[in-house]
């Protein structure tokens, strides 16, 4: 009766939060050890893969690029021109390296969510989006202080509005700019990847649950697995979109910090 | 919940929105390493390459513009030279035409003169010959006539004096006829 479930995943139906916390690799099978788990290994693999890709393809840059060099340049060029310069303006070029790194880090880590046999994204653990959100948070505040001095905070929280309405607006601005921003950044990415993984789990494990409950439900199980594939494609879109959104929002916050006083 | 508890035996329950601090450390270090390598070694190179490419393209455009300007200048120069050559050629042609006309007039005048001269010489010669012929004839006519007359008349010329008078009259008649 439990053939499918136990061979595919040691997980029960319905899937739960615990499915995101796989037993650790070193020490093997430990449940409360987090230094060396599938998740952390994936993060290191992502970092190594990105570094190797860029170093390999940009070892000997040429004016007329090779295919690999062209690909690396296209990624950087995309973030540089379509995100950094578009959002921030000409001075956005100096943020392009960080934004590209951020974009690639999120994209590759997200992509693990649909990579066959890996199929879980480190970004579905809030720790990683949180780190990135904190970096963005510190960065846009730092950029603001560098540009406007301490007056940045006044500029950021006091909108150009009649005096009477300021007591209402200032707390909202403080709340939205300095409290909500990092959380929304982190939670948006985390929740998308979490939900994506959960969806895939529901449809995959649901297929096994149904075929185990009654053999007559086999067609529904097949439908469920077909939908898993469809959702994988949907996830691919979400993966790219979320990497893009995180990067664009970071750029937009930096832009807000660099803007002249209104 | 029961099945899940059974599956995750012995593990504490996880809250998905509470980060695991070990993962924060791993994430920060991993991302830091990534940032360091890419920002330090890769993207500055790319910017350099982009700049080099821009320079190359702009240099190419500038060179092309210079070449174009030079070509235009040469074209103008050639056009000017060509126009100059054309006016020169026209001038030479006009001169040649005028020369030819002059020469033709000269030749015509000379020919006319020559022909006049030849005609005059011819006339003169003709009249000289005519005069000499007339003179010869005049001397001969007398003799021939006398011979003829003596043959016709024979020895019947008794009256010599009368004969002589007749002859002289005849010759005088001839003279007047010859002068006419």
Task: Return the residue matching tokens 């000017």.
Answer: B80
User: What is the mean pLDDT of the segment spanning A98-122?
Assistant: 93
Q: How far is CA A65 from CA A61, A74, B60, in A?
A: 7, 11, 18
Decide: A85 and A92 in contact? Cβ < 8 Å. Answer: yes
B158 touches chain A (CB under 8 A): no
In the prediction, which pLDDT does B12 show? 60
User: What is the mean pLDDT of the segment spanning A24-38?
Assistant: 84
DSSP letters, A83-151, are IIIHHH-GGGGGGHHHHHHHHHHHHHHHHTTTSTTT---GGGSTHHHHHHHHHHHHHHHHHHHHHHTTH
The tokens describing B91, both together, are 């001038």
User: What is the mean pLDDT of the segment spanning A193-212?
Assistant: 91
B57 touches chain A (CB under 8 A): no
Decide: A211 and A221 in contact? Cβ < 8 Å. Answer: yes
Q: In the predicted model, is pLDDT for residue B131 greater than 50?
A: yes
pLDDT tens digits for B21-67? 999 999 999 999 999 999 999 999 999 999 998 999 999 999 999 99
CA distance B2 to chain A (A): 10
B20 touches chain A (CB under 8 A): yes
* pLDDT classification of B98: cutoffs 50, 70, 90: very high
What contacts 24+ positions apart, CB below 8 Å, involve B56-62? B56/A63
pTM higher than 0.90, yes or no? no
Flag if A61 and B46 touch (Cβ within 8 Å). yes
In the prediction, which pLDDT does A196 show? 93
Residues of B in contact with A132 (CB under 8 A): 27, 31
Q: In the predicted model, is pLDDT for residue B116 greater than 80?
A: yes
Of the candidates A12, A43, A100, the beta carbon closest to that of B30 is on A43
Closest residue in chain B to residue A106, using alpha carbons only: B31
Q: In the predicted model, is pLDDT for residue A4 greater than 80?
A: no
User: What is the mean pLDDT of the segment spanning B103-126?
Assistant: 94
* pLDDT classification of B168: cutoffs 50, 70, 90: confident
Of A41 and B1, the one with more pLDDT: A41
Closest residue in chain B to residue A135, using alpha carbons only: B28
In the prediction, which pLDDT does B72 show? 95
In the prediction, which pLDDT does B16 show? 86
User: What percentage of residues in chain B have a pLDDT greater than 90?
Assistant: 54
Flag if A96 and B43 touch (Cβ within 8 Å). yes
Decide: B10 and A31 in contact? Cβ < 8 Å. Answer: yes
Q: In the predicted model, is pLDDT for residue A161 greater than 70?
A: yes
Least confident of A18-22, A41-45, B96-100: A18-22
Of A2 and B88, the one with more pLDDT: B88
Least confident of A6-20, A98-112, A217-231: A6-20
Q: In the predicted model, is pLDDT for residue B9 greater than 60?
A: no
In the prediction, which pLDDT does B159 show? 65
- Contacts of A68 by beta carbon, 8 Å cutoff, 6+ apart: A56, A57
In the prediction, which pLDDT does B142 show? 78
Q: In the predicted model, is pLDDT for residue B2 greater than 80?
A: no
In the prediction, which pLDDT does B26 show? 93
In the prediction, which pLDDT does B154 show? 63
Residues of A in contact with B46 (CB under 8 A): 58, 61, 72-73, 76
Residues of B in contact with A98 (CB under 8 A): 35, 39
User: What is the mean pLDDT of the segment spanning A27-37?
Assistant: 84
Q: In the predicted model, is pLDDT for residue A93 greater than 50?
A: yes
* pLDDT classification of B15: cutoffs 50, 70, 90: confident
Least confident of A45-54, B114-123, B158-167: B158-167
| CB-based burial, B95-115: b 16+ in 10 Å, e otherwise | eeeeeeeeeeeeeeeeeeeee
User: What is the mean pLDDT of the segment spanning B58-79?
Assistant: 94
User: What percentage of residues in chain A have a pLDDT greater than 70?
Assistant: 95
Residues of A in contact with B60 (CB under 8 A): none
Of A11 and A81, the one with more pLDDT: A81
User: Which among A10, A16, A32 is the top mutation candidate for probing chain B, defined by the most B β-carbons within 10 Å of its own β-carbon?
Assistant: A16
Flag if A130 and B24 touch (Cβ within 8 Å). yes
Q: In the predicted model, is pLDDT for residue B6 greater than 60?
A: no
């Amino acid at each position: 009766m439990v053939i499918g479930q136990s061979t595919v995943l040691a997980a029960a139906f319905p899937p739960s939060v615990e499915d995101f916390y796989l037993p650790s690799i070193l020490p093997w099978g430990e449940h409360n050890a987090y230094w060396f788990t599938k998740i952390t290994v994936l993060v290191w693999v992502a970092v190594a893969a990105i570094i190797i890709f860029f170093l390999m393809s940009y070892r000997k840059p040429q004016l007329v690029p090779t295919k690999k060099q062209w690909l690396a340049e296209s990624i950087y060029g995309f973030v540089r021109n379509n995100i950094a310069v578009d959002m921030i303006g000409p001075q956005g070029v100096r943020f392009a390296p960080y934004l590209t790194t951020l974009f690639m880090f999120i994209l590759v880590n997200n992509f693990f969510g649909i990579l066959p046999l890996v199929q879980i994204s480190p970004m579905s653990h809030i720790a990683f989006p949180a780190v990135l959100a904190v970096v963005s948070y510190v960065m846009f505040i730092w950029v603001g202080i560098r540009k406007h001095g301490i007056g940045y905070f006044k500029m950021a929280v006091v909108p150009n509005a009649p005096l009477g309405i300021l007591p209402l607006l200032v707390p909202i601005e403080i709340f939205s700019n300095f409290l909500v921003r990092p959380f929304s950044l982190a939670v948006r990415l985390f929740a998308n990847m979490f939900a994506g993984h959960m969806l895939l789990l529901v449809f995959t494990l649901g297929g096994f649950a149904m075929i185990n409950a009654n053999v007559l439900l086999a067609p529904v199980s097949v439908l469920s697995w077909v939908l898993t594939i469809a959702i994988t494609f949907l996830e691919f879109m979400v993966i790219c979109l979320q990497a893009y959104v995180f990067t664009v929002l970071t750029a937009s916050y930096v832009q807000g910090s660099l803007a002249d006083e209104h | 919940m029961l099945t899940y508890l059974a599956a995750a035996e012995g593990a504490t329950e996880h809250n998905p929105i509470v980060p695991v601090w070990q993962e924060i450390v791993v994430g920060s270090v991993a991302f830091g390493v990534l940032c360091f390598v890419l920002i330090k070694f890769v993207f500055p190179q790319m910017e350099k390459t982009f700049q080099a490419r821009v320079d190359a393209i702009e240099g190419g455009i500038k060179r092309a513009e210079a070449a174009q300007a030079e070509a235009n200048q040469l074209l103008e120069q050639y056009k000017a030279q060509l126009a100059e050559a054309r006016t020169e050629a026209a001038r030479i042609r006009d001169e040649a035409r005028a020369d030819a006309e002059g020469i033709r007039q000269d030749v015509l005048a000379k020919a006319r003169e020559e022909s006049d001269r030849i005609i005059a010489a011819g006339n003169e010669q003709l009249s000289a010959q005519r005069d000499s012929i007339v003179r010869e004839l005049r001397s001969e006519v007398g003799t021939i006539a006398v011979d003829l007359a003596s043959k016709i008349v024979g020895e019947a010329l008794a009256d010599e004096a009368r004969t002589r008078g007749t002859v002289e009259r005849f010759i005088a008649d001839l003279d007047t006829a010859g002068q006419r």
